[in-house]
């Protein structure tokens, strides 16, 4: 198991946003988390990536307890993520946005910067190469020098994924990668995710576009009111009574 959560619980005030969730993700698979609005999907992501500290329960990465680690150290272990809103730096180029993604694999510090040491130059080159490499993976080589404010929403999503890839993760969490883009582009994005998965990357995503999930995911978990109500292959999920009820009774956003 690459990632395992045990009895993971997060309460805000009296409300449990995530309640007692056990979930595990196998290496090399595409996992998906679905559920109606407010089901606690993003909170679940936040707990694994170290943004929130769980009220109780543990998160294991390759069997190591990472529950109490800060977000940046979790990223260092090889867990990466994207956000619903891309929050890229608009005034800068795509390439510049992505270069910093490899920062965590470098060691140069302030002194290196001021003295422009060999190490800094070497690492800068490495970061640039890495950035070009991941931009090629996501298919943005051509747009590397464009200013982020001038690219499309879909390209921004790809840039965000490239940024996450630049950290050299073993698993990547994608928070609604297809939100706000048109069906054609969604198709392209699905292909990209498949491609990443084929290259050996484990993937976990939250998505509302059911069609996309169903033909992408190997393994799906369904959350409702913070609790896991079902888990299994797309086929199993489609037939699951509890899931159907949750979606019919909940919001129609699916």
Partner 1 sequence: MKILTKRNGIIALIIFAFSFPFIAQNDYYLHMLTLSFIWAIAVYGINLLSGYTGYLSLAHAGFFAIGAYSLGLLTVKAGMNFWLALVCACLITCALGFLIGLIALRTKEHFFAIYTLCVGYIIYLVIDKWEGLTEGVRGLIGIPAPGNIGPITFDTAASQYYLVLIFLLAVILIVYRIIRSLTGRTYMAIRNSEDLAQTIGISTMKNKLTAFVLSTFFAGLAGALYASFIRFIGPDIGSTAIMFDLLMYLLVGGIGTLSGPLVGTLLLVILSQNLQFLQEYRMLIFGPLLTVIIIFYPRGIAGAFFDWQRKRKDNTLSGVRGELHIKAEEG
Interacting residues with partner 1 (CB under 8 A): 49-51, 70-73, 75-76, 80-81, 83, 87-89, 91-93, 95-96, 99-101, 103-104, 106, 108-110, 112-114, 116, 120, 123-124, 127, 145, 147, 163-164, 166-167
- Least CB distance from residue 54 to partner 1, whole Å? 17
- The minimum distance between CB 100 and partner 1, in angstroms, equals 4
Nearer to partner 1, 28 or 76 (CB): 76
Q: Least distance to partner 1 from the beta carbon of 142, Å?
A: 9
Least distance from partner 1 to the Cβ atom of residue 210, Å: 27
Residue number with CB closer to partner 1 (130 or 219): 130
Nearest distance from C-beta of residue 101 to partner 1, angstroms: 5
Nearer to partner 1, 103 or 211 (CB): 103
Q: Look up residue 39 and give its two tokens.
A: 């089901």
| 40/101 with CB nearer partner 1 | 101
CA 192, distance to chain mean position in Å, is 14
Whether the CB-CB separation of 56 and 9 falls below 8 Å is answered with yes
Q: Which is nearer to partner 1, 5 or 159 (CB)?
A: 159
């Amino acid at each position: 198991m690459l990632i395992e959560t045990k009895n993971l619980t997060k309460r805000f005030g009296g409300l449990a946003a995530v309640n007692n969730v056990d979930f595990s993700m196998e290496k090399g698979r595409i996992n998906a988390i679905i559920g109606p609005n407010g089901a606690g999907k993003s909170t679940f992501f936040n707990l694994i990536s170290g943004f929130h500290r769980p009220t109780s329960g543990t998160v294991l990465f390759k069997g190591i307890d990472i529950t109490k680690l800060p977000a940046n150290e979790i990223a260092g272990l090889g867990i990466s993520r994207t956000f619903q809103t891309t929050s890229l730096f608009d005034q800068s180029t795509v390439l510049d946005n992505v270069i910093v993604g490899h920062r965590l694999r470098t060691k140069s510090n302030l002194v290196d910067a001021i003295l422009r040491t060999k190490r800094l130059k070497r690492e800068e080159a490495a970061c640039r190469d890495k950035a070009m490499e991941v931009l090629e993976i996501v298919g943005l080589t051509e747009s590397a020098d464009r200013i982020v404010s001038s690219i499309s929403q879909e390209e921004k999503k790809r840039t965000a994924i490239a940024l996450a890839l630049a950290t050299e993760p073993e698993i990547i969490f994608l928070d609604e990668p297809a939100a706000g883009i048109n069906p054609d582009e969604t198709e392209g994005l699905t292909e990209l995710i498949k491609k990443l998965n084929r290259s050996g990357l484990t993937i976990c995503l939250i998505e509302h576009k059911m069609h996309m999930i169903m033909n992408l995911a190997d393994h799906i978990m369904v959350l409702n009111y913070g609790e896991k109500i079902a888990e299994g292959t797309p086929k199993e999920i489609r037939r699951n009574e509890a899931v159907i009820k949750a979606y019919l009774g909940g919001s129609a956003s699916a």
